Structure 1
Amino acid sequence: MSDTDSLRVNWPLGCGWVLFAAVNAYLTFLWAGAETIPYHLIWASFAFLYGLYPWPRPAALTAFWIITVVTGTAFVHHAIAGIIAWSECSEIVLMGVILALLMWHVERQRATRRTLVRLQREELERAQNRELRSRFGTHEVRTRLAIARGFVELIGAATIESEIRSDAHLVLGELDKASVMVSSLLTLAQVSEPSVRAPMDIKALIETALHRWVSNADRQWTSSAFQGHVAGDPERLEAALDCLIENAVKFTEPGDSIDISCTVVGGALMMAVTDSGAGIPPDEIDRVFEMFKTSRTAGERAGSGLGLAIVKAMAEARRGSVSVQSTLGVGSRFTVRIPLGDGELAPAPSLPVPTPAGRT
């Protein structure tokens, strides 16, 4: 909002202040010997109003000089009449200097604020451009991978030689891995970018994620979800949750348990995925969130090493964190903590309620 718009919106307050200042200016003439009371009331109200709302510079300077001249005339008039000492007229200069310094300081603060807003806007535009370039580049790579995959499939289907068929099958597997990695890199680029926060149903988000996984992995699935709404980016939170679930599935066997929980504790959203799988060796705990790092306990199930890096980027981009507790041969628990701002938690939420998702 511009300075002019601010004054237009608050014109009743401005008119009220003009009337208040005029009355007190009149009282500086009327209350000879006690003129400092209305005098200070004028300047105090001016300082308050100037700090509260932006003023156009011409309006502020005009008000400043009118107050200085009118009240200064009253002080000089009383000094000539012998009601006050001439030394008291020095207050006109002192108050003018103090108010000038105040106006200068306020203007510096507002200029700094405008600069910060401009920088934030430019950073948001750069982030949007980066995301657009990432999407375009990923689309191009995916298109080329799809074309290559199509030709390899044709070669495999057209040949009768088993060795060529085997080679074609191997190439198809590598192309599929490359496609998954491209998608993961795009997700990693997106989750750390600024996003628009909107109300989201935590319980529905957890249930949707479970619905995707329970039919694809034979595990003992359980969940407990905060029943309420919080402000956030459901798409990116869902992407991080998928990465945690995929990681849990990767390090468990059929029949192992995976639990998903989401609660609000101490003004923060706490999302955890716990599994009873292979666990993480103690010497690898500190490196599990690094890009392209996978635990040696993954074996042949090791993926691209981007999933946990995506979770970390998503959490830290929202002033949060992710942590892990793991015991080798017992299982792991990954916890994401995302702070919630004032007003981002739905009123009167119910307590978390366990909702077993069953076993496939």
Structure 2
Amino acid sequence: MRGGTSKGLFFRSDVLPSDPAERDALILRALGSPDPYGTQIDGLGGATSSTSKAVIVGPSSRPDCDLDYRFGHVSIQSPLIDYSGNCGNLTSAVGPFAIAEGLVAPLEGVTEVRIWQANIGKRILARVPVRDGLPLETGDFRLDGIPWSGAAIELSFLDPGGSAEAPLLPTGHELDTLEIPGLGRIEATLINAGNPTVLVRAADLGLTGRELPAQIGADQALLERCERIRAHAAVTMGLGDTPDAVSRSRPATPKLAFVAPATDSVDTRGEPIPAERIDLLARILSMGRPHHAFTGTGAVALAVAAAMPGTLVNAMTPWAGQSGVHHCRLGHPSGTLEVGAEVIADANGWQVPRAILRRTARRLMEGVVLVPE
């Protein structure tokens, strides 16, 4: 299925082996990993970080949810599936998949699907358009990064701040200074909302924020520098023992994004993005490579940080110094993206009741994947 600007292989939990090792071996082979040539030519993976993904969906054992959903980011060249985070884009396809598979009873018009995201232990509410008992896929909502319009699916990430691994602000600070051996000091906002995310200024990397994926991907020194920052930040966030261990076994999270104030830019089609249409410019890396648009959970993290005074992101917004409810318009390589977040302060610190974004999804095929014995 395609969900948002990602694509992945969706499985019902009852068709996979119960043993995790056997399950992961099957999923790896189905997608064509590990492939030292980096093509996934002998599987269904798409050989990019946005298209080498797996989703497992089944009935929930929780009374407040309809489904349990687990996401695996499948390494292309290594025998590794990283379950440390969620995919916000593919989350939009979970509800439609469940309705089509008979796991959730459809309600004509809009069906609310209550999802338990097992990776991060969070609830997500998906509002799925339904017509004649099936998920509606056609519509007039345009999602930059997708050539065709579709029916909008609204995702509400409920209480997305923090997880069992780390609180909303893992260090307790809105802004940290990281000491990176060989690179020196760099300021960062380390946040855990939607997914653990490292946010840095584009200018601190010698960038403008207008760079496109081809330019970023061709700069191996930049990618290596970003990975060193990401890995050291992960240790600071309590997500790994050493930077080397993070780079080796946890490539999916935390994500690293770099941001810049709104300014005129162009997308990968050459279409202009005027500064007045956006609040921020942002680029994000996924599995060590530049994302062709922007990750869904990365957008959640960025929107939460944008609504939190003291972060480097909030300082760049038109509402700098203010918390509350804000709809942040991001300029990314494929166009723009709007995501809303509510951030409030109480006696216990910052609270994030919800974050909301809209995506589209489509079932691309159904059938049997053949996996060698």
Q: TM-score range by the shorter chain?
A: under 0.3
Computing the radius of gyration from Cα coordinates, the structure with the larger value is: 1
Bigger helix share: 1
The alignment's TM-score, normalised by the length of structure 2, stands at 0.26
Higher relative contact order (CA 8 A, sep 6+): 2
TM-score, structure 1 normalization? 0.27
